[in-house]
Amino acid sequence: MSTDQSPAPETSVPTCYRHPSRETYVRCTRCDRFICPECMRDAAVGHQCVECVAEGNRGARKAVPRTVLGARGPAAAVPVVTYTLIGACVAVYLAELASWRVVWDFMMLGRGVLPGGEVGGVAEGEWYRLFTTMFLHQRGGSFGITHILFNMWALWAVGPALEQVLGRWRFLALYVLSGLGGSVLLYLVGSPQDSAVGASGAIFGLFGAYFVIGRRLGGPVGPIVVLLVINLVITFSVPGISWQGHVGGLAVGAALAAAYAYAPEARRRLFHLGAPLAVLVLLAVLVMLRTAELSPAV
């Protein structure tokens, strides 16, 4: 009697690399192999296989573990960029409390008359406002301190996981470009006199990126969808909120995350460098076109 086992039937359904008889759609966030529940180890975003966890624990310099998106695992374990951004926003908020001038000089403004009587804004050559506004937050008014508290909580909640899977420079580019996307959309479709402050555009960009990357890695995305829906409802139902900043940040964040997550492995570095640069150039061109439109005819 033969003791040879018959080969397993071919199937198009992916199976665990360690247990070929078990179907699964979840991939390891480091090596990208399919893993079943028994082989899964929880990670910041998605799961890792037992071999990658063991490799990471050994900490061998000659084989530095990387995430599916190319980030160095151990190097991004401490979310330095996330904590730095939170610290910067808090420091700027304290400066705001000391002087209203900080808000007027650095908030997003297309073109308007400032308290001193001078005309200022992006259309007047103050392009830095597109960037600096993402570090400002409302002091007093209808939201008060809850504005910065919610944004910093959201950054603390989703920032470390994204920074670990993306790496520091990709995460920083995602945050800054999402914030710029919100400012640019407000500049394009809003009134020149419209002003705005807050990191909300960048935060919405992180929400969008978390959803895209979570889908790519097979992780749970239900909670972030619920959070997004709630915040979008608030955005369009509460007066005084810049929907342009939120939607612009969300669109840029999701698009950039898609370029990060679905870049061909052979050209991953090219895509990861080229995508942020392409987004930056596009935003700059849109700003220049809008500025030319607002410039008075000579």
Active site residues: 200, 246
Count of CB atoms within 10 A of residue 30's CB? Answer: 24
| Tokens read off for 143 | 């939201």
Provide the residue type at 147 as one letter. Answer: H
Strand partners, 47: 28, 42
Count of CB atoms within 10 A of residue 121's CB? Answer: 24
DSSP 8-state code for residue 297: P
| Tokens read off for 35 | 């893993």
Nearest to 29 by CA among 56, 11, 60: 56
* Contact between residue 96 and residue 147 where contact means Cβ atoms under 8 Å apart: no
- One-character DSSP codes across 6-65: PPPPP-SS-B-SS-TTSB---BBTTT--B--GGG-EE-SSSEE-HHHHHHHHHT-GGG--
Kindly report the backbone phi and psi dihedral angles of residue 257, in degrees, each rounded to the nearest multiple of 5, phi listed first.
-65, -35
| Tokens read off for 158 | 């989703």
Query: Whole-angstrom Cα distance, residue 259 to residue 256?
Result: 5
Q: Which H helix or E strand runs over 196? A: strand 195-196
